[in-house]
Amino acid sequence: MQERNRTEISTLGEFGLIKHLTDHLKLTNDSTKYGVGDDCAVLEYPEGKQILVTNDLLLEGIHFDLTYVPMKHLGYKSAMVNFSDVYAMNGMPKQLVVSIALSKRFCVEDMEDFYDGLRMACEAHGVDIVGGDTTPSLTGLAISITCIGEADKRQVVYRNGAKETDLICVSGDLGAAYMGLQLLEREKTVFNQQMKESAEAAQPDFSGKEYLLERQLKPEARRDIVEALAKASIKPTAMMDISDGLSSELLHICTQSGVGCRIYEEHIPLDYQTAVMAEELNMNVTTCALNGGEDYELLFTVPIADYEKVCHIEGVKMIGHITKADLGCVLVCRDGNEFELKAQGWNPLK
Amino acid sequence: MQERNRTEISTLGEFGLIKHLTDHLKLTNDSTKYGVGDDCAVLEYPEGKQILVTNDLLLEGIHFDLTYVPMKHLGYKSAMVNFSDVYAMNGMPKQLVVSIALSKRFCVEDMEDFYDGLRMACEAHGVDIVGGDTTPSLTGLAISITCIGEADKRQVVYRNGAKETDLICVSGDLGAAYMGLQLLEREKTVFNQQMKESAEAAQPDFSGKEYLLERQLKPEARRDIVEALAKASIKPTAMMDISDGLSSELLHICTQSGVGCRIYEEHIPLDYQTAVMAEELNMNVTTCALNGGEDYELLFTVPIADYEKVCHIEGVKMIGHITKADLGCVLVCRDGNEFELKAQGWNPLK
């Protein structure tokens, strides 16, 4: 372990900490009129723009495990998952408000690391941090992020516009973030076991599995896809980001659009490392891709007339098509068998 | 105790719960284009309006104690404290996004009560609920509320515009919410002690102290004051809401405006019940009013030329005036003694 300074938050106090973390934030967007430091942030958007608002509440022990997630990555990912929601509306994220509740376990350096990651994500996506509050917590860390974005009035894409015969597309590949999580959980168990038995443990070897870790610890929201769609003059009929798993998201689109769908196992995009890891863990890789979650890829539908155009967008795969509602939501397997897609949300009793 | 139904959240699941809570929400504002049910809420504000954004993260055990705060009141208050931040910018709240993390201790009926309170507050202030997420938590309840409001471009009031000779005004009265908290905490201790000794306890008698409880459990954000200021054609030079105590807020205004202030103990507005309760608890009532917090009143400064106009606004008191920075921030006591005002924020080591 690296030696680190530890400055107690009490040495700065609440207002001192906020000032310390937010003092040098740069504001770069025209729509940002006033950032951190008053009762509200103040924004102003030009006529013709619609404003997109999303919020995520992330809790230690539920959404992240600090035994293997560094604070800097946590800051980065917390921002990314919110940007992803804005891209899913075919918009561009512009401002971010963060509120953090932290227990005495955390020090000023932890918060600096968190903000470093947050800032890095914001700079990469042209987003201004316009609100940054901190508050105490009895146990662990809680993070609330609100992201505000914009889209041309006529370009906003909802979940409810998918039509029969539309093509179903996904960006990137699926299941890798979930495999990364399994890998980290496994190594954590091994590490804890070794520490128990001999009070020392070997550092885990992740070579050949870097992509899985990166997908779990440092996801990238797909701004490039939204830009590519605009460039190709494609307005999807429906879109959302894949955070709970392809299966669950596809069912949302179908329910809200009043349609069915048919997707093909052989077309679901997978990375080589995902397949290897699933094999190693004796899991079905398609199940991981369907239900794994945290991919932060975009799932969207386009009219069949856009087939040619969408073919030329790098990193987008067509996995099936929209059908009449009464045909249901169907996965066609490699062997020709068909299965009904099932949703999975969190369930506190599970 | 009243008999209540208890429906486990697992019977609805995540998506079922969200749907159950948000299904019948009415959207009433022109600026709300799409509410709950997609990746983002979609808003559209007319030209000339600036958009105000604020977020609060409220945690069980830190910001509220469910042994004496009913869920409905919690919902109501959670919304109010955010509206208050928007009024503090001289704006009107229009949309609200809520994210809730809850442990297995909570049931569907708890969430219904919370939403009832939230909705009641929103209806009273013309605010649309446009986002409502729920997520599990390991321990207790965490609530994140984002409020979006609007103000005419030229009417937004910051904390940094107070000028020498400006009058310092506050709405309502101060310290009552803090006294309400002391009262509830005292009765909780008595109740627990009685239960320990004889397994039964008398219901506490709060008669004559109703106002203190109401100020703590059901605060009202001062929309009426913002409306009265507009009607009187007064644009404050600086404004904020009093959530951490008069003393702390006044120091924020003075620091950010680069000025000093002089306020008079005899002019600080107090309710009779606040004074009686302070006496009963052997506390200095002025200290309670200065540092108590949770008043959600408005603190603002106006040019001395507005003296006549501000005199006619009901429920507003002038408590002092702005001075040169080098004169400091001073409280003049009834006996003529002068004290330097001190800030108090949270400090996790205290």
A298, pLDDT greater than 50: yes
From chain A residues 75-94, the ones with a CB under 8 A of any chain B CB are: 85-86, 88-89, 91
Counting one residue from A and one from B, how many pairs have CB atoms under 8 Å apart? 222
**Rg of the Cα trace of chain B?**
22
Confidence grade of residue B269 (pLDDT, cut at 50, 70, 90): very high
Q: What digits encode the pLDDT tens for the residues B189-227?
A: 988 888 888 888 778 888 899 999 999 999 999 999 999
Q: What digits encode the pLDDT tens for the residues B290-317?
A: 999 899 999 999 999 999 999 999 999 9
B155 part of contact set with chain A, CB < 8 Å: no
A8, A31, A34, A55, best to mutate vs chain B, most B CBs in 10 Å:
A55
Q: What digits encode the pLDDT tens for the residues A311-328?
A: 999 999 999 999 999 999
Confidence grade of residue B287 (pLDDT, cut at 50, 70, 90): very high
| Nearest Cβ partner for A347 among B10, B54, B348 | B10
Confidence grade of residue B349 (pLDDT, cut at 50, 70, 90): very low
In angstroms, the CA A39 to CA A308 distance is: 50
Asked if A63's CB is within 8 angstroms of B41's CB, the reply is no
DSSP designation for B333: P
Mean pLDDT of B318-340: 96
Confidence grade of residue A1 (pLDDT, cut at 50, 70, 90): very low
Q: What digits encode the pLDDT tens for the residues A153-197?
A: 999 999 999 999 999 999 999 999 999 999 999 999 988 888 888
A51, A150, A222, A241, best to mutate vs chain B, most B CBs in 10 Å:
A51
Confidence (pLDDT) at B2: 53
Q: What digits encode the pLDDT tens for the residues A26-42?
A: 999 999 999 999 999 99
Q: What is the pTM of this model?
A: 0.95
Q: What is the DSSP string of B289-309?
A: HHH-----EEEEEE-GGGHHH
B347 part of contact set with chain A, CB < 8 Å: yes
> How many Cβ atoms from other residues are within 10 Å of residue B218's Cβ?
18
N- to C-terminal Cα separation, chain A? 36
In angstroms, the CA B177 to CA A282 distance is: 59
Confidence (pLDDT) at B78: 97
Q: Where are the beta strands (DSSP E) in chain B?
A: 32-34, 41-43, 49-59, 92-102, 128-136, 142-152, 167-171, 238-242, 260-264, 297-302, 316-323, 329-332, 338-340
In angstroms, the CA A60 to CA A73 distance is: 14
Instruction: Measure in Å the smallest separation between the Cα of B198 and chain A Cα atoms.
Output: 31
| Nearest Cβ partner for A56 among B99, B140, B156 | B99
A101 part of contact set with chain B, CB < 8 Å: yes
B34 part of contact set with chain A, CB < 8 Å: yes
Confidence grade of residue A204 (pLDDT, cut at 50, 70, 90): confident
B346, pLDDT greater than 70: no
Instruction: Measure in Å the smallest separation between the Cα of B272 and chain A Cα atoms.
Output: 30
Instruction: Measure in Å the smallest separation between the Cα of A15 and chain B Cα atoms.
Output: 7
Cβ pair A92, A231 in contact under 8 A:
no
Confidence (pLDDT) at B344: 61
In angstroms, the CA B146 to CA B131 distance is: 9
Confidence grade of residue B154 (pLDDT, cut at 50, 70, 90): very high
Residue indicated by tokens 């719960």:
B17
> How many Cβ atoms from other residues are within 10 Å of residue B169's Cβ?
23
In angstroms, the CA A253 to CA A340 distance is: 15
B139, pLDDT greater than 90: no
Burial A97-118 (b: 16+ CB within 10 A, else e): bbbbbbbeebbbebbebbbebb
Confidence (pLDDT) at B200: 81
Q: Which secondary structure element, helix H or strand E, spans residue B179, and what is its range?
A: helix B176-198
Asked if A89's CB is within 8 angstroms of B39's CB, the reply is yes
Q: What digits encode the pLDDT tens for the residues A43-76?
A: 999 999 999 999 999 999 999 999 999 999 999 9
Asked if B53's CB is within 8 angstroms of A136's CB, the reply is no
Mean pLDDT of A252-262: 97
- Name every chain B residue with its beta carbon within 8 A of the beta carbon of A135: 57, 59, 62-63, 346
Asked if B13's CB is within 8 angstroms of A59's CB, the reply is no
Asked if A38's CB is within 8 angstroms of B53's CB, the reply is no
- At residue B321, the 3 state secondary structure works out as strand
Strands B128-136, A92-102: pairing kind: unpaired
CA angle B110, B57, B67 (to 5 degrees): 40
